[in-house]
């Protein structure tokens, strides 16, 4: 009886590796509320962006020459932001591989993939700092409605990435103390949920902010 019971206990995680925990429910509730916040900001951004061409007329020739009519145009900033998107997707893969490694009992690879995830997050943040400094240097100001929503939306996401890197670093520190095993790795799964959410939100932001064309300018062409 004891032997069959033990076998059943081992078999359960294989059939259903992502079991329900109160921590997971709490994380999902947090992510759901966070998603509503992002949707609200995204809605404001889109409405103001539709109106943005009306405000472009107020920009100086130098600012327009600097590319401000082209924000949202593929010609503006796509290579850098595409690289940022790719790195964030890669960091999602390393995160999920870290979880898969600990579920196999491979703690060494779990640490390695977790460290790679943190590096991916730091690279993303570095690129965002560079992008912001570039745009501010060109004259894009958060004092305008369009600039404010652009900086707020990307900044709000950047704040999430920053929090994610700090969260990951705390988990990494615990991992280095061998706190997580094949049987006990719930915190790793939770930080993974948060990190994938950050990736998911960026996928939407990248498309809406950088790839979708400006509505009125293109429509009038």
Partner 1 sequence: MSNEDHSALYMKIFGWLTVWTVAEIIIAMPQVGVPRGIMIAGLAVMATIKASMVGLFYMHLKYEGKLIWAVILSPLFLAAVICIGFWPDAVGYYARP
Chain residues binding partner 1 by CB under 8 A are 14, 16-18, 20, 24-25, 28-29, 32-33, 35-36, 39-40, 43-44, 46-47, 50-51, 54, 73-75, 78, 82, 85-86, 89-90, 92-93, 95-97, 100, 103-104, 192-193, 196-197, 199-200, 203-204, 206-208, 211-213, 215-216, 218-219
Is the Cβ of residue 136 or residue 163 nearer to partner 1 in the bound state? Answer: 163
Is the Cβ of residue 184 or residue 207 nearer to partner 1 in the bound state? Answer: 207
CB of 1 to partner 1, least distance (A): 27
CB of 59 to partner 1, least distance (A): 18
CA dihedral 151, 155, 200, 210 (to 10 degrees): 30
Is the Cβ of residue 1 or residue 75 nearer to partner 1 in the bound state? Answer: 75
Is the Cβ of residue 84 or residue 165 nearer to partner 1 in the bound state? Answer: 84
Is the Cβ of residue 92 or residue 154 nearer to partner 1 in the bound state? Answer: 92
CB of 40 to partner 1, least distance (A): 6
Residue 94: name the closest of 80, 109, 84 by CA.
109
CB of 122 to partner 1, least distance (A): 20
Residue 88: name the closest of 120, 116, 115, 113 by CA.
120
Report the C-alpha gap between 139 and 135 in whole angstroms: 6
The upper half-sphere exposure of residue 175, i.e. CA atoms within 13 Å in the direction of its Cβ, equals 28
CB of 218 to partner 1, least distance (A): 5
Is the Cβ of residue 16 or residue 108 nearer to partner 1 in the bound state? Answer: 16
């Amino acid at each position: 009886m004891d032997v069959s019971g033990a076998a059943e206990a081992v078999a359960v995680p294989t059939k259903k590796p992502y079991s329900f925990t109160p921590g997971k429910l709490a994380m999902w509730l947090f992510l759901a509320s966070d998603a509503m916040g992002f949707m609200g900001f995204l809605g404001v951004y889109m409405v103001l962006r539709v109106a943005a061409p009306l405000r472009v007329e107020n920009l100086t020739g130098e600012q327009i020459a600097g590319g401000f009519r082209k924000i949202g145009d593929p010609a503006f900033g796509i290579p850098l932001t595409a690289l940022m998107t790719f790195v964030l997707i890669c960091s999602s893969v390393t995160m999920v591989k870290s979880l898969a490694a600990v579920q196999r009992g491979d703690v060494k690879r779990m640490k390695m993939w977790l460290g790679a995830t943190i590096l991916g997050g730091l690279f993303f943040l570095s690129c965002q700092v560079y992008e912001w400094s570039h745009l501010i240097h060109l004259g894009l100001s958060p004092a305008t409605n369009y600039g404010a929503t652009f900086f707020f939306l990307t900044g709000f996401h950047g704040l999430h990435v920053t929090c994610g890197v700090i969260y990951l670093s705390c988990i990494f520190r615990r991992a280095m103390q061998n706190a997580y095993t094949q049987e006990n790795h719930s915190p790793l799964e939770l930080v993974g949920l948060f990190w994938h959410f950050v990736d998911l939100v960026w996928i939407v932001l990248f498309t809406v902010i950088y790839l979708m064309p400006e509505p009125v300018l293109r429509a009038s062409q």
